[in-house]
């Protein structure tokens, strides 16, 4: 499953996910919120694809229009309301092993800058922490674990074939036009792929 397939798989799942939709040429976006624009391709590498995060409706629409011109017809340009990440990470699910990596704020801190607050490893009934054991609250950790159980059931056919599922997640909050958080953080999944 590549990034493109993962977007659709998440949308069709019962996981809490970003409210994305395909951007279509000439589309008008709500000017009362900030937007994230991403892309996914059917062929070639789907890593480090162009994106804009936390931009105005006009900037998002202009960028999306540019992407539509550059990408192939089968590729996807998608938009979703911007959220402010408070804690982010990756779930790596394979067989009887689950790894949860977590970092403060945006996932970019983990995947680009190699920062990490904690790694939690569940394997054969054992749990181990590497890093700050208190970084994730008990409620956050239990919520992630509960979703891991559901994910393993939903995509068991992939796991039985020796694949590993990677999911990107954040505890995020809505944002106003000045990038200020609104409300309480909630869990969102926004990328799914197999390796």
- Token code pair at residue 61: 């629409």
Query: Model-level pTM?
Result: 0.91
The total of other beta-carbon atoms located within 10 Å of residue 88's CB is: 24
Angle at CA 15, nearest 5°, toward 11 and 21? 25
pLDDT tens-digit profile of 106-159? 999 998 899 999 999 999 889 999 999 999 999 999 999 999 999 999 999 889
| pLDDT of the residue at 33 | 96
| pLDDT of the residue at 48 | 79
- Between β-strands 35-40 and 21-22, what pairing exists: parallel, antiparallel or unpaired? unpaired
Query: What residue ranges of the chain have pLDDT lower than 70?
Result: none
Q: Torsions phi, psi of 169, nearest 5?
A: -145, 160
d(CA 105, CA 171): 9
């Amino acid at each position: 499953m590549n990034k493109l397939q993962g977007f659709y798989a998440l949308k069709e799942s019962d996981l809490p996910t970003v409210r994305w939709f395909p951007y279509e040429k000439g589309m008008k976006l709500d000017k009362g919120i900030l937007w994230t624009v991403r892309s996914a391709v059917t062929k070639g590498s789907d890593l480090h694809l162009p994106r804009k995060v936390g931009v105005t409706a006009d900037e998002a629409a202009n960028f999306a229009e540019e992407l539509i011109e550059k990408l192939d017809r089968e590729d996807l340009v998608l938009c979703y309301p911007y959220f402010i990440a408070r804690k982010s990470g990756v779930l790596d699910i394979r067989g009887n092993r689950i790894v949860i990596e977590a970092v403060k704020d945006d996932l970019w801190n983990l995947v680009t800058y190699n920062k990490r607050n904690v790694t939690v490893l569940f394997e054969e009934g054992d749990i181990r922490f590497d890093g700050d054991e208190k970084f994730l609250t008990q409620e956050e950790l239990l919520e992630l674990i509960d979703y891991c159980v559901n994910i393993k059931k939903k995509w068991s056919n992939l796991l039985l074939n020796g694949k590993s599922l990677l999911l990107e997640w954040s505890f995020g909050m809505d944002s106003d036009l000045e990038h200020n958080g609104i409300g309480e953080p909630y869990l969102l999944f926004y990328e799914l792929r197999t390796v």
